[in-house]
Structure 1
Amino acid sequence: MADRLRRRRLRRTLLAALVTFSVAVPVSGAARPAAVPAPAPTALGPLRDASAAALEERYGVGRRDILAAERAAYGHGDLKRAASLRAMAAPGRQFLSFDGRDGGRSVEVVGELSAARRIAVLVPGAGVGLDAYGRLRRGAVALRGELGQGGAVVAWLGYRPPATLGPASMTDARAVEAAPGLRALVDRLAAALPGARITLLCHSYGSVICARVASGTAADAVVLYGSPGTGVRDVGSLRTEARVWAGRGGDDWIARVPHVRVRVPFVGAVGFWTDPVADRFGAEVFDAGGGGHSDYLLPGSRSLVNLGRIASGRAPLEAPRA
C-alpha cells in the first residue's frame, strides 16, 4: 500500500513538472531566434581512414565549414554564436564534422586519434549547444589529460539537445532521433581503429541516447553519469555486451527527478524509469565524488579521475571510508 501511494505521488510530481515546463520554457526562449542561419556543410563520406593525413584533411574541411557558419551568424547579427564559432575554428582544433544548421551539430577530436588506443566518446545532455560549446570542450580537454598517452576524446554533439528544463528533456524523442548518428560514429571508429578501446561517456540526457545504442554497440563500456534514467528498467533490458557503469555526484540535483515512466495524452511516455545507480538497475556503480550536475569533468575531481580510469580500462577508485 505504501509503495502504491509513493508511486502515485511520483506520477503527480512528474506530471506537474511537465505542465510547468510546457508553459514556462517556450516563454523564456521566445526572446531569442529559434535558429541561426548557416550554409550547408561540405559533403563528406563516412570516416573510413583514420591515418594522420586523412584526418588532417577532414579537420581542414571542418574548419572551413565552421568559418562559413561564423560569417553567416555575424551577418545575421548573432554575435554570441559568431564568437563561439570563431573560437571553434581556432588553429589546432580538430573537427571530424560540422553542420551549423538547425542549432548546429559537431564532432570534435581532442588528442591524436590516428594513434589512439583508448577513445572516450563524450555524449552531452540537455542544455548543450554551439552557444555553450566551450563547456563541452573544456570537459573534453580535462578528460584527455586523464587518458594519458595513446588516449583521445571525441566530443559528440551530433543531435539537437533539449532545453534543460523543458518538455523535450522528459521524453526520449530527441534520443530516438540522435541514436543512429551515435551508433554510426562508434561503428566507424571501431572499423577505422581496430583494437582501440572505445568507451561511451553519457551525461544526463545523453544516457538516454546511449541506452538506445547499447545493444550491439562496438563500445567496450557504457558509462551513465548524472543520469535521469535510461528509458529501460535495468541493465538486462539494454541487451548489451558492453560493461555498464553508473555514477552520480553527491550534490547533483538529478537525484530528485522522479524515476517513473508514465503515459501522457498527446505527449507520449514521460520519464526514464529506474535510477541507474540503484541496486535494482544492475550497473556497476563508481564513486563520482560530491559535485553537482555540471561538475563531473572538473579538473581534480573524483568523478573526472574515475571516468578517465574507466575509459582506460582500469578500476575506478573506491569511495573513501568514513
Structure 2
Amino acid sequence: MGRATRTLITAAVVTAVVGGTAGWASGTAQEPVTGPPPGTAEWRAAGLPDPERTDPAGIARFFAGLAPAERRKLARTHPTVVGNLDGAPPELRYEANSRTSQGRYPGARVLAYDPRGRGQAVLVYGDLARAERVAVLVPGSDVDAGRMDSLTRKATALREATGGRAAVVAWAGYTTPVGVGLDAASGELAEAGAGRLARFAEGLRAAGVRTEPSLFCHSYGSVVCGLAAHGLKAKDLVVFGSPGMRAENVAALRTTARVWAAKDPTDWIDRVPNVAVAGLGHGTDPTDPAFGARPVPAGDADGHDGYFAPGTSSLRAFAAIAEGGVR
C-alpha cells in the first residue's frame, strides 16, 4: 500500500476520532520498546540466564535454585534486569525496582520499571502471592512511566470496589500511542505490546501466581488484548471504550477466557469507524451483539475515561467479574 493511500485512510480515522474528542491533537510516531531488560549485556557477561533465550518458567527454575542471599545479591547487582524479569519472584522484583524507581509510586509495589523511551511501569495493589483473584488493567493511549495517574486511579478504584479481595495490577508494560494518529489507527504498537503482555502473564504463573487473571483492557489496550488473546491464559477479557480487537468475533480471538464488552453512550469512541483496511483500523465493535461478547452495563459512565467512576454500574460489574461472582 502506498503512503498516499495510508495517509487518506488514516486521515479518515483520525478525523472521526478528533471530531469526537475534546482537546486531543494529532499523535506523534512512537517506536516500541522491545527486547530484553536494560542491563542485559552485563547480566549475560556474568554467565547468568539469557533473558531472550530463557522462558519465564526457566527463569523461575533458576531463581528457585539459589539461596536467599544469592537472590538478594543479584537484585542489588543487576536491579534493572531482575526488576523486569518475567518469572522472577515478585518480592525480589519489588526489591530491585525500589532501587531504580526511586519511590515514584507511593501506595503501590513496583513489579517492573523500565526507563527506556517514554518509560514503562507495572504497579501492584495487593498481595499477588495470596490473592484469590487477580485483575490486570491494560491502558490505551498516553500512558507511560511518567503518566500513570489515570491508570492508577482505575486500579485503586477496582481494588476498593472488590473490598480489597482482588489484587490489581496496573500494567503500563508497552509503548502506547501518543494522541491520535497513525499509531492509534494501526496495530504495530499493539502487536509489540501483545507479546509483552503474554510473557508478563506467563511470568506471573511461573512465579507462583496460580489464579488466572481477569484482564481489563481500555481503548487501544483492547487492541493489545485482542492480539494477545490466543496466547493468554486468562479467566476474563473485559474491553471498554474499545475501537475494536482486530478480530471479527469472539471465536476469532481463539481464547478460552470469557469475553466482555462495555461502551457508554457518551464515549467518543463510538464515532470511530469500525473498519479494518490495509492494516489500519481495528475492526468490529466488541459491543456489537454479532461480535458475541457478554455485555457489561455502562449507561451511567461518563465519556471515554469514566468507566471506573465510583457508583457507576460499570465499576460494580467490573468488581463482580474480578471477584469471579458473575457466571
1:299/1:21 Cα in 2 relative to 1: closer, same or farther (>3 Å)?
closer
Which residue of the other structure, out of 289, 300, 303, is the alignment partner of 1:279? Answer: 289
Q: Deviations over 1:146-187 (max 9, x none)?
A: 223441001111111002312100010001111111001112
User: Does the alignment pair 1:191 with 2:187?
Assistant: no
User: Does the alignment pair 1:305 with 2:316?
Assistant: yes
Q: Deviations over 1:73-110 (max 9, x none)?
A: xxxxxxxxxxxxx642x3x4301110111000111101
Which residue of the other structure, out of 71, 76, 89, is the alignment partner of 1:49? Answer: 89
User: Does the alignment pair 1:207 with 2:222?
Assistant: yes
**Could you say what the CA RMSD is over the residues aligned between the two structures, in angstroms?**
2.6
Q: 8 Å contact 2:212–2:233 — kept in the other structure?
A: no
SS across alignment from 2:121: strand
Q: 8 Å contact 2:126–2:168 — kept in the other structure?
A: yes
Q: 8 Å contact 1:276–1:283 — kept in the other structure?
A: yes
Q: 8 Å contact 2:110–2:122 — kept in the other structure?
A: yes
Q: 8 Å contact 1:21–1:166 — kept in the other structure?
A: no
SS across alignment from 2:170: strand
Q: 8 Å contact 1:13–1:258 — kept in the other structure?
A: no
Q: Determine which structure has greater relative contact order: mean sequence separation of CA pairs < 8 Å that are 6+ residues apart, divided by chain length.
A: 2
2: CA distance, partners of 1:105 / 1:273: 27
**Matched residue count:** 265
Q: Aligned letter for 2:112?
A: S
- Select between 293-302 and 274-283 the one with higher mean Cα deviation: 293-302
Which residue of the other structure, out of 132, 145, 148, is the alignment partner of 2:160? Answer: 145
2: CA distance, partners of 1:17 / 1:226: 16
Q: 8 Å contact 1:117–1:197 — kept in the other structure?
A: no
User: Does the alignment pair 1:25 with 2:60?
Assistant: no
Which residue of the other structure, out of 13, 16, 19, is the alignment partner of 2:12? Answer: 16
- Select between 183-192 and 304-313 the one with higher mean Cα deviation: 183-192
2: CA distance, partners of 1:20 / 1:247: 20
Task: Kindly state the Cα deviation for residue 19 of structure 1 after the two structures are TM-superposed.
Answer: 7.8
Q: Aligned letter for 1:25?
A: S
Q: Aligned letter for 2:26?
A: V
Task: Kindly state the Cα deviation for residue 197 of structure 1 after the two structures are TM-superposed.
Answer: 3.9
TM-score, length basis structure 1: 0.75
Structure 1 partner of 2:170: 155
Extract structure 1 runs of 4+ deviating beyond 6 A: 19-22
Q: Aligned letter for 2:215?
A: L
Structure 1 unmatched runs, 5+: 1-11, 68-85, 264-268, 317-322
1: CA distance, partners of 2:135 / 2:225: 13
Task: Kindly state the Cα deviation for residue 128 of structure 1 after the two structures are TM-superposed.
Answer: 1.5
TM-score, length basis structure 2: 0.74
Q: 8 Å contact 2:166–2:322 — kept in the other structure?
A: no
Which residue of the other structure, out of 74, 95, 100, is the alignment partner of 1:65? Answer: 100
Q: Aligned letter for 1:49?
A: P
1: CA distance, partners of 2:217 / 2:15: 27
Q: Deviations over 1:266-311 (max 9, x none)?
A: xxx1111110000111111110233211111222222111111111
Structure 1 partner of 2:123: 108
Task: Kindly state the Cα deviation for residue 250 of structure 1 after the two structures are TM-superposed.
Answer: 2.1
SS across alignment from 1:210: helix
User: Does the alignment pair 1:168 with 2:183?
Assistant: yes
Structure 1 partner of 2:303: 292
2: CA distance, partners of 1:47 / 1:303: 33
2: CA distance, partners of 1:179 / 1:168: 15
Structure 1 partner of 2:110: 95
User: Does the alignment pair 1:254 with 2:272?
Assistant: no
SS across alignment from 1:141: helix
SS across alignment from 1:42: helix
